[in-house]
Amino acid sequence: MTTTARTIHRSASKADLVRGRHPAYLASRLRAVTGRYGVTPRKAQERVRRCVARLSRQGISPTFATPGHVVEAAPGFFRELRDAGAELAIHGYDHADFRRLSREEAAEQFARAVDAYSRHGIPFEGFRCPYLSYTPEVRAVLPPGAFSYSSNRAIVWGAANVKGHGPVYAHLARNYRAVSSEEALGSPALEGDLVEIPASVPDDLQLCDALGLGTDGLLRVWVETLQDTHRGGELFAPLFHPEAFDLLGEAVDGLLDAARALRPAVWPTQLRDVARWWRERATFAVRSRPEGGVLTIEFDCSTRATVLARGVGQSPGPVWDGAWSTLEDRRLCIGDDETRPFVGARGVDGPTVAFLREQGYVVDTSERAGDCGVVLDRASVARLRTRRALVQHVEAGAGPLVKYGRWPDGARSALCLAGDLDALSLRDYALRLRPAPRRRS
């Protein structure tokens, strides 16, 4: 064991008592870290370069959430990643659990990270707190206007079918506090001035280090989750760590091969592009006007929009998937006495109406809501209970419907490889076990 590794071990033993980390988790991470990092950054940097190059050959670039002090220690390396197409997102200044910080300490973490990225020419648009430790209190201290997106909520997908998972898996699961995919949708959400983009777990540390799945097992879990998200038109953003990429490479290749084979297409992208797209999509509108016994429906949107219709007489355009066709001319005319291809909402609360509109549906709250292809009322929304059940109910209806697809250019789902690049050396790990330093005034 190197001197730095022994320092990590001694520091971790003390930190464990304070932070409540499970000893089995600590021992597992110590073995992994000392095998994957060197005293200098060279070993980790070469691995990250291999990761970026391998993904580039597959037509996708990663997003790396990285602490400011790691960027500050090797700014030239991160400019190299920037130039190679990787996206960098802020991960605090120190790798600190924001749930354990005061408001002042959390604000300083963001201020120092923003300063480090900016001084060294590293662009950023979003952030992810270490351990996904974002809270409403953290939201209150974000630098005004600094970020366009957050990726701090997790959805746990069921493909791993984990039983008897053990303390290492459980410790990481407690950190992430993920919501089950049986309830939540893997879809971005515009929350005030931020787009919240959900991360997908179990992550690679849970699947590889805790469960020991290996390449075949990891690929199975990822492909099954990809297929689930594709069926639902959702985002698959597997949380991963470049420190383990030498174990992940073949499974990543298999995942991307599987994604390219799916139809309608999977959009391979980065978190910043998801946020940009979601903001663009939020500007789309639908106008309808009755005239001379005809209801004309017009879609006001960009050329990248996917406009879909089902059950509106003869197919209005090319078949997209199943009963849905694309509406390429952005205009539809039906008889004014026909069933309106909207979601009728009678007495439904405002947040639910806003949610349905963000999913792309045209929601009619007028006195003609009962004449729509799908009709909801307060009782049916309460009975459905979850957002996923609500969308599934709308999609399962037999009535005519038009909507905006979630993703651009005809894609059905999206895929982001958004990893946490927490460290480049054993020294970085030794530093993260000490209390977050305060800036001197």
pLDDT, one tens digit per residue, over 55-75 is 999 999 999 999 999 999 999
Helix (H, G, I), strand (E, B) or coil at 370: helix
pLDDT at 249: 95
**Alpha carbon distance 174, 201 (integer Å):** 12
The answer, yes or no, to whether residue 436 has pLDDT greater than 80, is no
pLDDT at 410: 97
pLDDT at 113: 98
pLDDT at 352: 98
The answer, yes or no, to whether residue 290 has pLDDT greater than 90, is yes
**Contact yes or no for 226/417 (Cβ under 8 A):** no
pLDDT at 10: 41
pLDDT digits (tens, 9 = 90+) for 177-192: 999 999 999 999 999 9
- When comparing pLDDT for 420 and 14, which is higher? 420
At residue 4 the predicted structure's pLDDT band, cuts being 50, 70 and 90, is very low
What is the length of the chain? 441
Specify the domain boundaries for CATH 3.20.20.370 within the chain. Answer: 3-262+414-432
The answer, yes or no, to whether residue 31 has pLDDT greater than 50, is yes
pLDDT at 13: 37
CA nearest to 416, candidates 270, 255, 212, 205:
270
Tokens, residue 436? 């977050």
- Mean residue pLDDT of the chain comes to 91
Cα-to-chain-centroid distance, residue 242 = 17
The CATH fold assigned to 3-262+414-432 is: TIM Barrel (3.20.20)
pLDDT digits (tens, 9 = 90+) for 89-131: 999 999 999 999 999 999 999 999 999 999 999 999 999 999 9
Share of the chain above pLDDT 70, in %: 90
At 190, which amino acid appears? L
Q: Which residue has the tokens 């990092």?
A: 37
Residue 226: phi and psi, rounded to 5, are -55, -45
Residue 35: phi and psi, rounded to 5, are -85, -20
376-409 in b/e form (b: 16+ CB < 10 A) is beeeebeebeebbebbeebbebebbbbbbbbbbe
- When comparing pLDDT for 312 and 121, which is higher? 121
At residue 143 the predicted structure's pLDDT band, cuts being 50, 70 and 90, is very high
The answer, yes or no, to whether residue 273 has pLDDT greater than 80, is yes
**Alpha carbon distance 95, 335 (integer Å):** 60
pLDDT at 136: 93
**Alpha carbon distance 222, 330 (integer Å):** 36
CA nearest to 87, candidates 111, 66, 68:
66
CA nearest to 410, candidates 299, 307, 271, 314:
307
Average pLDDT (312-321) is 81
Does the predicted model carry a pTM greater than 0.75? Answer: yes
Among left, alpha and beta (phi > 0; psi -120 to 50; other), residue 108 is alpha
The separation between the first and the last C-alpha atoms of the chain, rounded to the nearest angstrom, is 38
**Contact yes or no for 348/374 (Cβ under 8 A):** no
Average pLDDT (321-337) is 93
Average pLDDT (319-341) is 93
Which residues, in sequence order, are bridge partners of residue 299?
286
The answer, yes or no, to whether residue 25 has pLDDT greater than 80, is no
The answer, yes or no, to whether residue 1 has pLDDT greater than 60, is no
pLDDT at 103: 96
**Alpha carbon distance 276, 149 (integer Å):** 9
Average pLDDT (239-267) is 96
Query: Which range, of 30-34, 66-70, 82-86, 352-356, averages the lowest pLDDT?
Result: 30-34
